Structure 1
Amino acid sequence: MENSKSLNATTYITFDGYVDLHKFRYLYFVMILTVYILIIFSNATIVCLIWTRKSLHEPMYIFIAALLLNSIFTCTNIYPKMLIDFVSEKQVMSYSACLVQFFLFYLFGGSEFFLLAAMAYDRFVSISKPLQYPNILTHTTVIICLVLAWFVPAFPSMILIILLHNNEVKLCNLEVKGIFCNNAIYSLHCVIPRSVTIFGAFSVVNSIILPLLFIVFTYTKILIISYRSCKEVRKKAAETCLPHLLVLFSLTCLSVYDIIIVRTESNFPKPARMIMTLQIFLYHPLFNPLIYGLKMKEIHKHLKLLICQAKTI
């Protein structure tokens, strides 16, 4: 094979992150297909519940629905290709398709942080300015927040894709030490251009660090307000903020792993790397509907009604 390969022709890359695929391919297929169906069903159920119940047509629940819909998009970007890989002799993907998967993965990943930031702002206004809440969190404000949540992370990710698809970028390796196209694709390139490094860092700051700082600042303010208020306010803050904080903690841990795995991949055992990579899009999309379905009182109430109605049919 040549030392470097131009991107003029169709280039295919191989995924080398699977463990004992020849032995467990059908077990993997059944497990992942089951998880994918559960993710679609659980997330879509709560989204439909929020859509159809007028009492849930409030900013907080609309943001939750957007977050769960985001999880469906993320998994649909990854799971179908992975299921094909399980039953295929070769786990390959064109470089162009890999870049599309890379773009969508970080678009939806960044959107999740921005949606959590919108939820933090919603809770802050609800607790600190309850009387002004309807005038601040209007229908227009909610739409603007949703548009920005998907548009802002898209810009740096799109620039990265354009730079990586540039004909001047050469590939010295056609094997990804992973099971889908995330940060691991940087290991394919002979030399990572400085522009890619700069925009990669900008993307991390823009899509993760800035919304994370905003969330930390907002919840700190909520904590201070709750501490100075009555017991009822503290209870309300705990009931509505705790689910968001649990989801934020889970997402942050997985994002940190995704960022550092590229720098430690040579020393990271292959089975451990596969297990950790699966966590990014395996338990987290199941964790979200579980948390919001059980911890959010109004959603939990409507879920119980839905289950009771289903039993009577």
Structure 2
Amino acid sequence: MDNISLFTVFTLSELKDKMSVKHTYFALSLLVYLLIIVVNLILIVTILLEKTLHEPMYIFLCNLCINGLFGTAGFYPKFLSDLISDSSFISRSGCFLQFFVIYTSVVCEFTTLTVMAYDRYVAICRPLDYHSIMTTRTVVYLLLFSWLLPAFSSSIAVLLTNRLSLCGSHIEKLYCDNWSIVKLSCETTFINNIYGLVLIIGYCSLVVFIISSYTKLIAACIKSTESKAKFTHTCMPHLLSLINFTLALLFDTMYVRYGLKDVPQSLRNFLALEFLIIPPLFNPFIYGLKLTEVRKRALRAVKVKVTDHFYSVKKR
């Protein structure tokens, strides 16, 4: 038993297709990843450079986009490399780093959406107190909360899983995740299970907070036409992002916990990757299209950049 846990390399599940098909997957995945980078960077740069957008709502949106880039960076480079090299090996340290980045990103998305729900609650239900509540210090604290809590909880998960003796090295997913590694354990995972339960209770409390915020928001909208317009304009993108992310996370949880053996492998792979594909693309588009200020300034920035490039080429 002493040598059981000395696995320095893990193997990930492979796409069981011909190399030509894998090259097609590579091209599509690269296109999606580049699109994620471009659309998120456009919103991030637009919000950072436009002083009129230096408001809590837009700052939290910028944080959401930064987190989207952070999380996808933990998956796409390795996945693209595996498709080209036809290899599914990953080092132990690389595996733990990957699940730390992806899990931190997942929780950060959730905490950021919670913070955004609080911001909309104050803006609509307590508009006269908004600027006195959402001060620069408060915004900084909320941003720290949205990052430090996920990083701390993921770090504890890494430490608890890293201490386990493992009886295998094959992970039944296209990327490393905590539960898949825990299932390889030769010893009891009681502490890991308790910690997982604590995390679930903690995240459920965030869900309760979000539901409570939106209950009060909807009640305020029923009483006021102005509040209803503000809800439709600023809360609908947030609500759509929340629903989309929750469904994506639910699919991944079902895949990890129950395996979905009766579901085709291609669909299982998509369900496992949905939260790494859809939300990072969905968030910038839905906010960019719905929030007028962001849309106008982003289009203006792109137009100016294209015009400058056109004149520089013409001069040559």
Amino acid at match of 2:57: M
Which of 175, 183, 207 does residue 187 from structure 1 map onto? 183
Identical-residue share of aligned pairs (%): 35
- Confirm or deny: 8 A CA contact 2:7 2:169 kept in the other structure: no
Cα drift, residue 15 of structure 1: 1.0
Question: What is the TM-score with the length of structure 2 in the denominator?
Answer: 0.91
Amino acid at match of 1:261: Y
1:117 corresponding residue in structure 2? 114
1:134 corresponding residue in structure 2? 131
Which of 25, 30, 37 does residue 27 from structure 2 map onto? 30
Cα drift, residue 10 of structure 1: 5.0
Change (3 A) 1:266 1:297: closer
2:285 is aligned with 1:277 = no
Unaligned runs of 5+ in 1: none
2:97 is aligned with 1:97 = no
Q: Deviations over 1:213-254 (max 9, x none)?
A: 21111011000011111x222111111000000000011011
- Confirm or deny: 8 A CA contact 1:113 1:212 kept in the other structure: no
Which of 264, 285, 288 does residue 290 from structure 1 map onto? 285
2:244 is aligned with 1:246 = no
- Confirm or deny: 8 A CA contact 1:26 1:86 kept in the other structure: yes
Cα drift, residue 129 of structure 1: 1.6
- Confirm or deny: 8 A CA contact 1:102 1:181 kept in the other structure: yes
1:132 partner SS: helix
- Confirm or deny: 8 A CA contact 2:36 2:69 kept in the other structure: yes
Amino acid at match of 2:264: P
Q: Deviations over 1:27-80 (max 9, x none)?
A: 121111111111111001100000000000000000000000000000011111
Distance 1:239 1:74 in 2: 28
Cα drift, residue 311 of structure 1: 4.2
2:65 partner SS: helix
1:303 corresponding residue in structure 2? 298
- Confirm or deny: 8 A CA contact 1:12 1:94 kept in the other structure: yes
Change (3 A) 1:104 1:311: closer
- Confirm or deny: 8 A CA contact 1:4 1:190 kept in the other structure: no
2:174 is aligned with 1:176 = no
Amino acid at match of 2:50: R
Distance 2:184 2:273 in 1: 21
Cα drift, residue 16 of structure 1: 1.4
1:203 corresponding residue in structure 2? 199
| Higher relative contact order, chain-length normalized (CA < 8 Å, sep 6+) | 1
Distance 1:171 1:243 in 2: 43
RMSD (Å) for aligned C-alpha atoms: 1.8
Cα drift, residue 138 of structure 1: 0.4
Unaligned runs of 5+ in 2: 309-316
- Confirm or deny: 8 A CA contact 1:116 1:248 kept in the other structure: yes
1:188 partner SS: coil
Change (3 A) 1:266 1:238: closer
Which of 124, 138, 141 does residue 144 from structure 1 map onto? 141
- Confirm or deny: 8 A CA contact 2:252 2:274 kept in the other structure: no
- Confirm or deny: 8 A CA contact 2:255 2:272 kept in the other structure: no
Question: What is the TM-score with the length of structure 1 in the denominator?
Answer: 0.92
2:312 corresponding residue in structure 1? none
1:190 partner SS: coil
Q: Deviations over 1:260-308 (max 9, x none)?
A: 2222216243222112122121122110100010011110121232233
Q: Deviations over 1:184-237 (max 9, x none)?
A: 33332234510011112222332x3222221111011000011111x2221111
1:45 corresponding residue in structure 2? 42
2:76 is aligned with 1:82 = no
Cα drift, residue 119 of structure 1: 0.7
- Confirm or deny: 8 A CA contact 1:73 1:108 kept in the other structure: yes
Which of 213, 218, 225 does residue 213 from structure 2 map onto? 218
Greater alpha carbon shift after TM alignment, 215-224 vs 265-274 = 265-274
Pairs aligned (count): 306
Distance 1:92 1:189 in 2: 19
1:236 corresponding residue in structure 2? 230
